[in-house]
Amino acid sequence: MEVKTSLLDNMIGVGDMVLLEPLNEDSFIENLRSRFDHNEIYTYIGSVVISMNPYRSLPIYTPQKVEEYRNRNFYELSPHIYALADEAYRSLRDQDKDQCILITGESGAGKTEASKLVMSYVAAVCGKGQEVNKVKEQLLQSNPVLEAFGNAKTMRNDNSSRFYGAALYS
């Protein structure tokens, strides 16, 4: 008889901060640091995805990863931006609910890259032809508006974008 192991058995640190005990600032930061040190750059807080920019390429954005996260339960696999993108896309497709993904962070945090990852994931899973073009056009039209909400003067930049986002409309 084959013994099935839980995803949690092989996870570095705690993948969802909701489950972190004790939950305090030190344990929170240490959990993020431990996961980051093992190239686990995504961590959840419930349905929120925390992303830490590794400032280098990681092999976690392949076509195989897209298929791995496609049509899966949000918590079924390790935390990943593809899980969030898939959840938003399926809610749009199956329940006809408009979706908005808000991406926030300091200058250089990876907001633009995260937005591109969401868009590329949705483009990869939504099929071919007119549906893909419609989704891509919606995403492209929404980004300048969403980015403009967060522009502000910071220590690093006179017009730093602190928010970036992707919106999907039915």
- pLDDT tens digits for 118-141? 988 988 888 766 766 776 666 666
User: In angstroms, rounded to a whole number, what is the distance separating the alpha carbons of residues 83 and 105?
Assistant: 20
- What residue numbers bound the domain in which 67 lies? 17-161
Residue 74 lies in a domain: yes
Residue 3 lies in a domain: no
- Domain count for the chain: 1
Residue 111 annotated as part of some ligand binding site: yes
Which tokens is 47 given?
A: 């349905």
Residue 129 annotated as part of some ligand binding site: no
Residue 2 lies in a domain: no
Record the pTM: 0.79
Residue 8 lies in a domain: no
Is residue 61 helix, strand or coil?
coil
Residue 5 lies in a domain: no
Question: To the nearest whole number, what is the mean pLDDT of the chain?
Answer: 81
Phi, psi of 76 (to 5 degrees): -70, -30
User: In angstroms, rounded to a whole number, what is the distance separating the alpha carbons of residues 44 and 85?
Assistant: 14
User: In angstroms, rounded to a whole number, what is the distance separating the alpha carbons of residues 88 and 122?
Assistant: 9
Residue 51 lies in a domain: yes
Residue 110 annotated as part of some ligand binding site: yes
CA-based torsion, 131, 71, 47, 25: positive or negative: negative
Which DSSP state fits 16? B
Residue 152 lies in a domain: yes
Residue 107 annotated as part of some ligand binding site: yes
Residue 109 annotated as part of some ligand binding site: yes
Q: What is the CATH number of the domain that holds 155?
A: 3.40.850.10
Residue 81 lies in a domain: yes
Query: Which pLDDT score is estimated for 4?
Result: 45
Residue 165 annotated as part of some ligand binding site: no
